[in-house]
Amino acid sequence: MISCVNLYRMTRVKKGIKDMKKISVLGLGYIGLPTACMLANNGFEVLGVDVNKEIIDKLNCGKLHIEEPELEKIFLDAFKNKKIKISLKLEESDVFIIAVPTPLNHKKKADLSFVVSAADEISGKIKKGNVVILESTSPPGTTRNIVGKIITNSTGFLAGKDYYLAFCPERVLPGKIVYELENNDRIVGGVDKKSAEITQDIYKTFVKGKIFLTDLETSEFVKLAENTYRDVNIAFANELSLICSDYGIDVRQVIEYANMHPRVNILNPGPGVGGHCIAVDPWFILENTKRKDTLIEKSRNINDNMPFIISQRVAEIVSKYKKPKVTIFGFSYKENVGDTRESPAIVINNELIKRKIKVSIYDPLAINTKYSLSGLEDSVNGSDIILLFTGHSIFKEIDLVLVYDLMRSRNIFDTRNFFDRTTVEKLGFNYYNI
Ligand code: SAJ
């Protein structure tokens, strides 16, 4: 008599990588688009889906809506060879990869509405034996309890039995996304071993790094722990910078010497932590825990407070000038990227304007921002201080003599240790730093 376990095993889907021909990627942002291109250029028929018609139209004209080194090449390779199709409409596929945004809502909780609608859409197209992979960074339990539950509730399909379900977080650094997509190690969490293995096989087609397998919740947690580790370390550096300034000690020198210790690696203090990862993911860890007074929350608050501290210091420096003007150099959340999402420079801009201080912004890399950006000369003309917020490499080319001539007062507040103090002081600037 066949035991029910065997009967159950017999009814389980049995598919392998060779059965996976067509992959749909839902969400064509900084992660979804490069991932779709990688898969398309490594043997799969790929459908790229996004709800934003502007993005779809732009991509279908062979144009990109985001700037990342090498991304245009891998996209045009796939697009011109018809290996990737771009559409607003999802189609039946063997694999569905969800790479939609998971922003924070006003209660510092994950807004999973894009994940929910992606799972709903997939429910309408999924077939037995398909693979569903969540890439979007999410609170622990999201893959099983949100994506898995939605599919089961609307199709009756069980994850691990009728279809494969996995979580495979991206770990790429904006500015190096294409390179890191290929070369970083990956963690894959499966609702069961088979789901993890088949997902590993799919990513192995383009990932040169190692791929480690675990369960869903562990892989979700690993992603959050990585970014929270960095946030806590940056908070330590920022707090150290505040205490050092109380002592009148140069925190940069302290960090430089301390990092000579074999087991010390203090990160860089700065004007705040931006982007939609490091400033967001720690809250996802705290989302379902009742623990109070955590180091993680304290670190978030320290980093979130930095742009206010910087605004206060800038206001103090320019308080002696009539109708002061501040020039912000760099508006992106970090160097050499154009992404201004969650950039602390937005907080500083708003804080200074609230204090009736005129602000002009110079950032030739910044894209998709509603804030008005000026050319170099207009931005420094009649200005009293340059607030170096983001250290784009191209700022090294700036003619500081020209800047000096155009400014009304010559102050530089360098929040990134970007300029050489001796050089700018020799030019006659007053130099301030964190
Ligand atoms: N920052 C500092 N001091 C530092 C390092 C960074 O103030 O020493 C600030 C930056 O200026 C920026 C913010 O922190 O405002 C975050 O920048 P980042 O370069 O540390 O990280 P992201 O957000 O660009 O990318 C991170 C990376 N995570 C880790 O390095 C652990 C990347 O690998 C992730 O894939 C990415 O988040 C993500 O998408 O999760």
Could you identify the residue written with the tokens 């799919």? 202
Task: Give the nearest ligand 1 atom to 271 CA.
Answer: 7
The pLDDT value given to residue 287: 92
| Residue nearest ligand 1's atom 40 by CA | 277
Q: Note the helical H segments in 68-128.
A: 71-80, 113-123
pLDDT value for 370: 87
Do residues 325 and 406 touch, judged by C-beta distance below 8 A? Answer: no
Catalytic site residue from 223, 244, 325, 334: 223
Contact yes or no for 415/433 (Cβ under 8 A): yes
Specify the pLDDT at position 19.
86
Q: Rounded to the nearest whole angstrom, what is the distance from the C-alpha of residue 228 to the centroid of ligand 1? A: 10
Q: What is the pLDDT of residue 9?
A: 47
Minimal-distance CA residue to ligand 1 atom 9: 273
Q: What is the chain's Cα-based Rg? A: 25
Give Cβ neighbours of residue 217 (< 8 Å, ≥ 6 apart): 140, 141, 144, 189
Please state, in angstroms and rounded to a whole number, the distance separating the CA atoms of residues 414 and 330. Answer: 11
pLDDT (tens, 9 = 90+) of the chain, 434 residues, equals: 445 544 444 456 677 889 899 999 999 999 999 999 999 999 999 999 999 999 999 999 999 998 899 999 999 999 999 999 999 999 999 999 999 999 999 999 999 999 999 999 999 999 999 999 999 999 999 999 999 999 999 999 999 999 999 999 999 998 899 999 999 999 999 999 999 999 999 999 999 999 999 999 999 999 999 999 999 999 999 999 999 999 999 999 999 999 999 999 999 999 999 999 999 999 999 998 999 999 999 999 999 999 999 999 999 999 999 999 999 999 999 999 999 989 999 999 999 999 999 999 999 999 878 899 999 999 999 999 999 999 999 999 999 999 999 999 999 999 999 999 999 999 999 999 98
**267 CB within 6 A, ligand 1:** yes
Indicate if 277 belongs to the active site. Answer: yes
180 lines ligand 1 (CB under 6 A): no
Nearest atom in ligand 1 to the alpha carbon of residue 278 is 23
Which residue has a Cα nearest atom 28 of ligand 1?
A: 227
Contacts of 21 (CB under 8 A, 6+ apart): 44, 45, 94
Is 382 within 8 Å of 325 (Cβ atoms)?
yes
* Best residue for ligand 1 mutational test, from 280, 334, 343 (most atoms within 8 Å of Cβ): 334
Q: Whose CA is nearest to atom 17 of ligand 1?
A: 334
- Tell me the one-letter amino acid at 378: D
